[in-house]
Amino acid sequence: MKARIFKRMMTGVLAAALVIAPTMSVSATTVTGSSTSTAEKVIASSTSEEVTTIAEIPTTSTVAGVKSTVAGTYLATSVNGTVVTTSQAAIAQGYGLTGAEKPYAKFMNMDAKKSYLAAAAIHAAAQAKGAVVGPMLNIELGKMSAGKYSLLPSEGAAIRLSLGIPKSFAQADAAYAVVCVRPGGVVTILEDVDTNPNTVTFDTTGGAGAYAMIKY
């Protein structure tokens, strides 16, 4: 995996303040053969009240014609698609999953105001590389077992992800990478491993993190 540890910063504070969970609490039931669930309740918390709406929860996504190999909740709208490209079998083998355990991914837009320490770490890493920060995401790589969700360990085997570059952040002569901030304060720059000008493809590991696309 082409990644390097950039620096450890604000370890204790960042571990407590890094907001990995989405701003919406989602309960989704997958319908076999469908790319989205049936109508589900999405409870969005505002500063003054709770608002309940009905929404379609995407359970898969496509980037540059490639469909994600893993079921999940694909709610990140700040990029042009999000996918896991490592096969389910490879993830299961790399993390010792049993037959009843299935990989499950969560992609959500990151609220920089709530995750302000993670955002600060992302901007510091980008500045040191002379890069511009683009879309920020909360990404979780976990598993489902008997209807219960849990995170995969962050020390496991590499899992390849791909993000579609939004038109607003596209630049023909730019190089791209992804900054990852983990709970505990570890900041990593994950290099783009493919040559597709419309995507950023990188290797990461299980667990939760704040991720941001950067260009330089």
Spatial distance between the Cα atoms of 28 and 26, rounded to a whole number of angstroms: 6
CB neighbourhood size of 164 (10 A): 23
**Domain total for the chain?**
1
Residue 125 within any structural domain of the chain? yes
The answer to whether the predicted template modeling score (pTM) of the entire model surpasses 0.85 is no
| Owning domain of residue 160 | 3-20+59-215
Q: Name the token pair of 14.
A: 């960042």
Rounded average pLDDT per 10-residue block, the chain, 216 residues: 40 40 28 28 28 64 97 98 98 97 98 96 98 98 97 97 98 97 95 97 98 98
Residue 47 within any structural domain of the chain? no
Residue 170 within any structural domain of the chain? yes
Give me the pLDDT at residue 132, please.
Answer: 98
Give me the pLDDT at residue 10, please.
Answer: 39
Q: Is 137 exposed, middle or buried (0-12, 13-18, 19+ CB in 10 A)?
A: buried
Residue 44 within any structural domain of the chain? no
Give me the pLDDT at residue 87, please.
Answer: 98
Residue 43 within any structural domain of the chain? no
Residue 140 within any structural domain of the chain? yes
